[in-house]
Structure 1
Amino acid sequence: MAGLVVLALAPPGWAQAPDPAPYALGDWKGVRQTLHDRGVDLQVTYVNEIASNARGGESREASYADQIMLDANFDLERIGAPEGASLHATLTNRNGVDLNEKGSLGLLLSPQEIYGYGRTTRLAQLYYQQTLMAGRVTVKLGRLPMSGDIFPFSCEFQNLGFCGAVPGYITPNWHTWPASQWAAAIKSRLAEKLWLQTAVYQVNPTFTRPDQGLELGNPSGTTGAHAVAELTWTPHLAGLGGAYRIGVWRNTGKFEDLYFNEAGSPIGQDGGRPRRLNHASGYYLMAEQPLHPAPGDPRRGPTVFANFIQSDEDVSVVGSVREVGVFWRGPLASRPQDTLGLALGRLGVNRKVRRRIAQENRGASRAAPTPHAEYPLELFYGWAATPTLTVRPNLQYIHNPGGLAAKRDVIVLGLKTSASF
């Protein structure tokens, strides 16, 4: 997923011929070059994730989930459109089963990030892009997922908590890749190392249904809009370029209060139907900074990262996410294209949910356990078998699954494989 999202977000390099080296099928016997000369660049990417719970869950299981993607970029200048105009389209097809469901692991987030939104084909992106003011401003209009343009974290890890638009996985009415909505996004360069990105997405849960995967229209069901603003600072510290981001969002969809009922009193104490809310908001912080590169090869070396997300505790069971980790490019001098990754996170169940459970337990014959926080950890090694194929065996350890200290910790053995054609 991450590779295709990054490709779609990057300004297309139409001036240069495509390099066949990163593709398993090379130049497609000249077809790729011919299409490129006519302003069309294509890429097919396949990702497969296998997972097995060596410990935890209700039963020992193994599962796979996969995704195949077709991405197309069209240089519209070739047909007389304004300079900097392009069209981008992405189709995805997902299959498989989620280990979290199959093994009843009870995790807050899946150990297979590639799973989600049904086993179906979807129009993940279809948008017009226009660069303006010598590249200082980029505008997108069309169908976009509520991810990629904001919270641009990679998906090299297999655990969903360390992949992509994590705020969307814990926030209701935030529909992430590969489900798309009608949207507009603008990225503006404010200063040499300062960027502002804003995006407004339609909120229509109908688009997440499998039968809407390839629909181009606008079915009924729109409940509001999702607006995000992200400020990015890209300084060079000790000669190494990092990225520091702060983002805020507000969603005007329909929500149910987790704590208060329609009368304004606690549900856990007085019962009743949840209070209806017409908005939710939150914010996030991101930091990514390379450290000392390997002598003689600046491409090799560690990059540390830290992310913090605060969701709306009125509507989100997981109120906050904290995570830190490192990517180590070329950990071995003999394997400069390999990557070692380590991440540790904390998914905090919000205090209103805990308070409601405590209130419900006062009158119950049997007390329900109160969740607090889940702690996922993942270690992977990405072996670049060829320029087109990467294999990432990984080990995931999840402490307090579901935020429950009484539950047995979960160990997941995983294998993530990605290839470009």
Structure 2
Amino acid sequence: MTNNAIVVAGLLGACVLPCAHASSYSPNNFLLGDWGGERTRLHQQGVDFQLTYVNELAYNTQGGQEHKGTYSDQLMFDSNFNLQKLLDWQGASFRMTFSNRNGENLSAEAGTNTLLAAQEIYGYGSVTRLVQFYYQQVLLNDRLMVKLGRLPMSGDVFPFSCKFQNLTFCGTVPGYITPNWFTWPVSQWGAVVAGKLTDDLSLNASLYQVNPRFSENAQGLNFGSPPGTTGYLAVGELAWTPTVKGLPGSYRAGIWRNTGDFNDVYHDIDGRPIGLTGHSPEQHDSASGYYLMAEQRVYQDPDNSTRSLTLFANFIQSDRDVSYVEKVFHLGAFISGPFATRPQDEIGVAIGRLEVNELSSRRISQANGYASAAPDTEYPMELYYGINITPALTLRPNVQYVVNPGGLSGDKSVVVFGLKTEVSF
């Protein structure tokens, strides 16, 4: 095939799973295989693409207002072009991703009142969106990487996996509790620079446009930028990836500053309590916060490297002047190859703590005349078993248990049974 034909073929294809790209390419990763060798030929010439489908079923069995089930899903199209192979541009690549989401939100449909959703794939409306459209350049013998283009405020920030179904334990959690931080699949114009200081120490900086209008369904396929930009989100992260006794680890510390428009959670425009006056909130032109992440493999089977135990812990502190949920804690583990006969399966377990901002709680108490309890702390938990049917198909049945839903200690605990299905075509 000619280079032009290859580019056209790639643009018509598209996914967001890294397995589709050059570092770990295998036709076995796709349910539809190698297409008679055509997929491998495209890969060798610099084009990788795929289609990925994620479905999340959830049924509320305890707590909330109703016992019922819902589904949410996402179809993703992704293409990646190695411009070094295609055009002889050293260290250059281009990526374009689209997504389409549909379904219902169990938290709303069953009235569970949890602080974060039981289906992480739900959000930002049933619409097709441009998720990624960026140029990437690697420099200085792979020690410096630059991205420029349309980016979600999530792909290069707080890089936690999305294997869990509860939103508390999936992806860029700071964006779920911080106003004006729009995560996947909403994208904004931005830039990312990542540099290696040493072999195991790197510094990453991201800068994103903040425009709330990009979250509108009508802007889903807008390649430009509508009026409404309110500022920028800047994130800096220091990452350390040591090997401890032969086992890999990852430790990160990040800070952010967002210059969008924010409402104060407690004070009105006169500096008095909103819960007492009912007046419009005080306005802020910036918000900031920080996060800490730690992930360490603590065991690996000497006879089978696919069997291992990895522990993780995360902490997020958001701006208490503008955030309803102020702090988030995570603790958990991934058990890879839990049984010798199922080395590709995985067990995941996580326990969280979400703290409602004390100022938000005080405002609610004042507004209802101290007649009912104010929210405080919610404790979500999740356990899943990942069944690797093939490299292209994974099922993750899970159970979620939420104590003090919404941070209210008097409410009955919520129990949700779920099933997350991932298919790569």
Instruction: Specify if TM > 0.5.
Output: yes
> What residue in structure 1 maps to residue 345 of structure 2?
338
2:380 alignment partner in structure 1:
376
Q: Aligned equivalents of 2:274 and 2:424: distance in 1?
A: 51
Work out the number of aligned pairs and report it: 411
> Partner amino acid for 1:338?
D
Aligned to 1:191: 198
DSSP 3-state at the match of 1:115? coil
**Equivalent in 392, 401, 406 of residue 397 of structure 1:** 401
Q: Deviations over 1:141-188 (max 9, x none)?
A: 000000020100001100000000000000000000000000000010
Q: In structure 1, what residue type is equivalent to 2:270?
A: A
The answer to whether the aligner puts 1:407 opposite 2:411 as a matched pair is yes
For residues 150 and 99 of structure 1, the distance between their equivalents in structure 2, rounded to whole angstroms, comes to 27
Amino acid at match of 2:236: A
Conserved 8 A contact 1:401-1:407: yes
Equivalent positions of 1:29-40 (< 5 A) are 29-40=36-47
Aligned partner of 2:223: which letter?
L
Moved over 4 A (4+): none
Structure 2 counterpart of 1:226, from 233, 250, 269: 233
- Partners of 2:249 and 2:38 lie apart in 1 by 38
Matched position secondary structure for 1:134? coil
Equivalent position SS for 1:135: coil
Instruction: Name the SS of the counterpart of 1:242 in structure 2.
Output: strand
**Is the 1:5–1:148 contact (alpha carbons within 8 Å) kept by the matching residues of 2?**
no
- Report the counterpart of residue 210 of structure 2 in structure 1: 203
Hey, what does 1:237 align to over in structure 2? 244
Q: Contact 1:374–1:402 at 8 Å: present in 2 too?
A: yes
> How far is the alpha carbon of 1:356 from its aligned partner?
2.0
**1:175 aligned partner, one-letter code:** F
Is 1:298 equivalent to 2:298 in the alignment?
A: no
Q: Give the C-alpha shift of residue 196 in structure 1.
A: 0.6
Change (3 A) 1:81 1:217: farther
Superposition map of 1:276-355 within 5 A: 276-355=283-362
* Equivalent residue, structure 2, for 1:48: 55
User: After the TM superposition, which of the residue ranges 293-302 and 196-205 deviates more from structure 2?
Assistant: 293-302
1:81, distance to aligned residue in structure 2 (A): 5.0
Structure 1 length-normalised TM: 0.95
- Looking at structure 1, the residues matched to 130 and 278 of structure 2 have their Cα atoms a distance apart, in angstroms, of 42
CA distance in 2, matches of 1:56, 1:278: 39
Match of 1:215 in 2: 222
1:43-82 residue pairs with structure 2 within 5 A? 43-80=50-87, 82=89
Number of the residue aligned with 2:22: 13
1:82 CA displacement: 2.6
Do residues 419 (structure 1) and 396 (structure 2) align? no
Instruction: Give the conservation status (yes or no) of the 8 Å contact 2:22–2:48.
Output: no
Query: 2: distance between equivalents of 1:73 and 1:268?
Result: 51
Give, in whole Å, the separation in 2 of the partners of 1:6 and 1:69: 9
Between 1:139-148 and 1:256-265, the stretch displaced more is 256-265
- Aligned equivalents of 1:385 and 1:82: distance in 2? 39
Deviation at 1:360, TM superposition (A): 3.3
Q: Residue 260 of structure 1: which of 249, 254, 267 is its match?
A: 267
Q: Within 2, Cα distance between the matches of 1:355 and 1:412?
A: 30
Check conservation: 1:325, 1:343, Cα contact below 8 A: yes
Extract unaligned runs of 5+ from structure 1: none
Residues 99-140 of structure 1: per-residue CA shift (max 9 Å, x gap): 011111111100000100101111110100000001000000
Whether the 8 Å contact between 1:258 and 1:353 is mirrored in structure 2 is: yes
1:195 and 1:238 map into 2 onto residues whose CA distance is: 21
Aligned-partner residue type, residue 64 of structure 2: G
In structure 1, the partner of 2:12 is none
**Residue 175 of structure 1 aligns to a residue in which SS?**
coil
For residue 56 of structure 1, report the CA deviation from its aligned partner: 1.1
Partners of 2:35 and 2:212 in 1: CA distance: 39
Query: Structure 2 CA distance, aligned partners of 1:30 and 1:102?
Result: 46
Post-superposition shift, 1:367? 1.2
Q: Give the stretch that moved more between structures: 117-126 or 36-45.
A: 36-45
Check whether the contact 1:6–1:148 (CA below 8 A) recurs between aligned residues: no
CA RMSD of aligned residues (A): 1.5
Shift of 1:31: 2.5
Give the secondary structure class of the aligned counterpart of 2:84.
Answer: helix
Cα distance in 2 for residues equivalent to 1:275 and 1:25 = 55
Question: How many angstroms does 1:215 deviate by?
Answer: 0.7
1:321-369 Cα deviation digits (max 9, x unpaired): 00100000000011000000100000100111122233334xx3x7132
